[in-house]
Structure 1
């Protein structure tokens, strides 16, 4: 591999890794808003379009169909266009989609544009963490990548409160969706001011540009950074690394870990809460749509606060301990959630379910919530990082779809109690998976993590 690096003649304005992380994390905020907004909007949408329970599941899950496709295609687009241009494109799609969904004249039109928004969500879910991880110093990478998950939870919380505000103002579901055009515009403008990642530039042979970006990022040693990127790409070139390499010994274990955590994150039932929390509260006896959305909004705020706490934990306690603590706590809380829906707790079920959902969201927000997206962005080598993260995202969205499309049907078939107990059992299996297979990546450079997989655990 040829490497011609010349130091730029002019001094360029330094940039903060925190700034570019916050800009890119707007993609996460849109991810959260556009997935969470349907929970409250559904209570009004079903009346506008006269939806059956099955059609309500489709209304919720349509965005996930697009997300599955978007997650699969994101890796290749991310590698071809680059991280920055991909995020610029997503800003345009989010903005146009928000406006067109809000003016949907009928249910099929609504579904088509929810699928298109889903394409952007699925792509953003893998592109944003990769962009942030490749722009971050190793010591703060965990916290900075977790800003994306904080933005996701903030987007969800904002969507809940927007739902509540528009519901109380009797404005219906249309402005609930239209509001997301605002962060879409800000994402586009913010990425215009942000650079491409040095690792992507180097992988395309643009070493001078890569070094220029490294010199601009505060907190990164440019000489060491360029040397590590060069060594990593050289090793990949010698191994003729490509997407197929992910299925060979070494990186196959990385793919198993990434996709495994992706599956666990969904199988604990998180999006039954995100999408159906108002419905759950109504089943627990909430007297009105507004009161159900209010209770959901409280859960959304707790989600944001717990995710802020996770930013301080992920680079201190590490990824693996948080996964173990979180999955164990989720199993316990889900058991009690199922128990609270039994007849003997009927007189107090509303309060008990609210408390249980708050505990559930805390356990998730400090563990599986941020750690999955962080690890999917840091465990793969540069040239397959986008594809590896894309496959993990695809797994996540596929199971997200399965959980969301089946929740109401499952509740109708076996009741709330056994539905939540199934999720509790899956949480136990997730704990075992993390205990046996997931390594610690805290404090390691991306190149050191790659070396771990190739050398094998010791």
Structure 2
């Protein structure tokens, strides 16, 4: 009975820590998703054309690219916890500036500031959670970050719909609330035990592990394995070492395909695209809410499946469904889908695509990136993953409306369908199975050259 109480206590603390840290994901989702609804009003208020809409939308992505690169050396030097708290402060500043922007230039700057915070969270939070979670629950714990992201997106869609008759400034301003929660919550949480060990503070690392694990013996055994694999902080060039390369290929490849398979094209521009083909503004915003609900449900499923099925199997099972959904969507836009049964088929195809894509690639990106790198370059490796994600996201956000104009909606979705099929081939060839293995076991496989044989 005593052991059971200890286990429950340790598990409860880990769940609390992961939940508070994942609030950074909620901010990530809200601040990237709210532009979907706000853009309809901002375009009218500031007289934006296609280029202006894409700049306002992509400013947060440009900031995120910078934020994730800056976060790596700072999180290695200052610690994961302090950097998450700093990101929360940046969220607060960016939200206030966006809410009171007098013109489009200040709004773009505010969106860039928000992007810095989003980028920092995308790099730090998954690493922090992965480094405090026990191996058997690491999958669902890290995916909690992505679940918070899509929940934040859903909240942004709902807020956009409810505030459609009010100012877009209110839509942005609501983001202050979770930012304050994140800052206050992180101020009382422990530091990463693996970061403490990397800094040579073994006593501090053991104290944290003793709080997080079921008993002191389990904490000591885990610390011993960390010490056995302990390396000093490595420079960026460590990512070029041949033995690290399989981790780079797998994680960066998933990050790239997560974006170029089209999810953020749907996320950012769904209301604009649907309004352009005949849906009313309210109907377009309601369609976005349906997409948000689908994303939350599929991510919740994915958080179970990454540990029950495994990372690799989840991807191989769901990605083909995303490709088929986009093919149906392309056909509907090709024949005209704004009346009768075609409208429902179009909406169903969008929701189905969101379920299959978000439940697979979007679930795996932060998890695989946070667990495949050795401790000495984990933070920098995760920055590379995040930078790949945001670079591809920037490309998508800057070109989606132009692609729709050049290729038509049908041609654009055919292209994304082909990219989903390419993602399936990549996963089958380069992504191993890391379920149930400790971070130190994964590092051992990298050093032994057996990483790609993990199945």
Q: TM-score range by the shorter chain?
A: over 0.9
Measured after TM superposition, the shift of residue 73 of structure 1 is 1.4
What SS is found at the alignment partner of 2:229? helix
1:424 is the counterpart of 2:421: no
1:373 is the counterpart of 2:366: yes
1:323 is the counterpart of 2:320: no
In structure 2, C-alpha distance between the alignment counterparts of 1:290 and 1:312, rounded to whole Å = 34
In structure 2, C-alpha distance between the alignment counterparts of 1:354 and 1:219, rounded to whole Å = 47
1:56 is the counterpart of 2:67: no
1:309 is the counterpart of 2:317: no
Measured after TM superposition, the shift of residue 345 of structure 1 is 4.7
Measured after TM superposition, the shift of residue 326 of structure 1 is 2.3
What's the TM-score, normalizing by structure 1?
A: 0.93
Where does 1:13-162 land on structure 2 (aligned, <5 Å)? 16-162=13-159
In structure 2, C-alpha distance between the alignment counterparts of 1:54 and 1:273, rounded to whole Å = 18
In structure 2, C-alpha distance between the alignment counterparts of 1:145 and 1:353, rounded to whole Å = 33
In structure 1, C-alpha distance between the alignment counterparts of 2:287 and 2:81, rounded to whole Å = 38
1:232 is the counterpart of 2:229: yes
Taking a change above 3 Å as real, the CA distance of residues 281 and 346 of structure 1, as seen in their structure-2 partners, is closer
Measured after TM superposition, the shift of residue 219 of structure 1 is 3.9
Question: In structure 1, what is the equivalent of residue 212 of structure 2?
Answer: 217
In structure 2, C-alpha distance between the alignment counterparts of 1:328 and 1:450, rounded to whole Å = 30
Question: In structure 1, what is the equivalent of residue 6 of structure 2?
Answer: none
Cα contact 1:284–1:350 (8 A) shared by 2? no
Q: How large is the Cα RMSD of the aligned pairs?
A: 1.4
In structure 2, C-alpha distance between the alignment counterparts of 1:339 and 1:250, rounded to whole Å = 45
In structure 1, C-alpha distance between the alignment counterparts of 2:347 and 2:354, rounded to whole Å = 11
What SS is found at the alignment partner of 1:441? coil
Cα contact 1:246–1:255 (8 A) shared by 2? yes
Question: In structure 1, what is the equivalent of residue 171 of structure 2?
Answer: 176
In structure 1, C-alpha distance between the alignment counterparts of 2:293 and 2:337, rounded to whole Å = 26
Question: In structure 2, what is the equivalent of residue 185 of structure 1?
Answer: 180
Question: In structure 2, what is the equivalent of residue 401 of structure 1?
Answer: 394
In structure 2, C-alpha distance between the alignment counterparts of 1:105 and 1:241, rounded to whole Å = 45
Question: In structure 2, what is the equivalent of residue 285 of structure 1?
Answer: 278
Where does 1:248-263 land on structure 2 (aligned, <5 Å)? 248-263=241-256
- Structure 1: gaps of 5 or more residues: 1-12
Report which stretch shifted further, 24-33 or 337-346. Answer: 337-346
Question: In structure 1, what is the equivalent of residue 441 of structure 2?
Answer: 448
Report which stretch shifted further, 323-332 or 340-349. Answer: 340-349
In structure 2, C-alpha distance between the alignment counterparts of 1:345 and 1:114, rounded to whole Å = 34
In structure 1, C-alpha distance between the alignment counterparts of 2:220 and 2:125, rounded to whole Å = 25
What's the TM-score, normalizing by structure 2?
A: 0.94
Measured after TM superposition, the shift of residue 334 of structure 1 is 1.1
Question: In structure 2, what is the equivalent of residue 382 of structure 1?
Answer: 375
Runs of 4+ in 1 over 2 A off after TM superposition: 240-243, 343-350
Question: In structure 2, what is the equivalent of residue 343 of structure 1?
Answer: 335
Q: Deviations over 1:46-95 (max 9, x none)?
A: 11111111100111111111011111111111111100000110111111
Q: Deviations over 1:5-52 (max 9, x none)?
A: xxxxxxxx9661110000000000000000000000000011111111
What SS is found at the alignment partner of 1:440? coil
Measured after TM superposition, the shift of residue 372 of structure 1 is 1.0
- Match among 225, 229, 246 for residue 239 of structure 2: 246
In structure 2, C-alpha distance between the alignment counterparts of 1:111 and 1:24, rounded to whole Å = 27
Question: In structure 2, what is the equivalent of residue 296 of structure 1?
Answer: 288
Cα contact 2:295–2:359 (8 A) shared by 1? no
Q: Deviations over 1:331-378 (max 9, x none)?
A: 111111111101265534422221011101110222111111100000
Cα contact 1:251–1:453 (8 A) shared by 2? yes
In structure 2, C-alpha distance between the alignment counterparts of 1:349 and 1:219, rounded to whole Å = 55
Measured after TM superposition, the shift of residue 394 of structure 1 is 0.1
Cα contact 1:137–1:219 (8 A) shared by 2? no
Measured after TM superposition, the shift of residue 163 of structure 1 is 0.5
Measured after TM superposition, the shift of residue 243 of structure 1 is 2.5
In structure 2, C-alpha distance between the alignment counterparts of 1:245 and 1:99, rounded to whole Å = 39
Cα contact 2:243–2:449 (8 A) shared by 1? yes
Measured after TM superposition, the shift of residue 218 of structure 1 is 3.5
Measured after TM superposition, the shift of residue 241 of structure 1 is 4.3
In structure 2, C-alpha distance between the alignment counterparts of 1:311 and 1:284, rounded to whole Å = 35
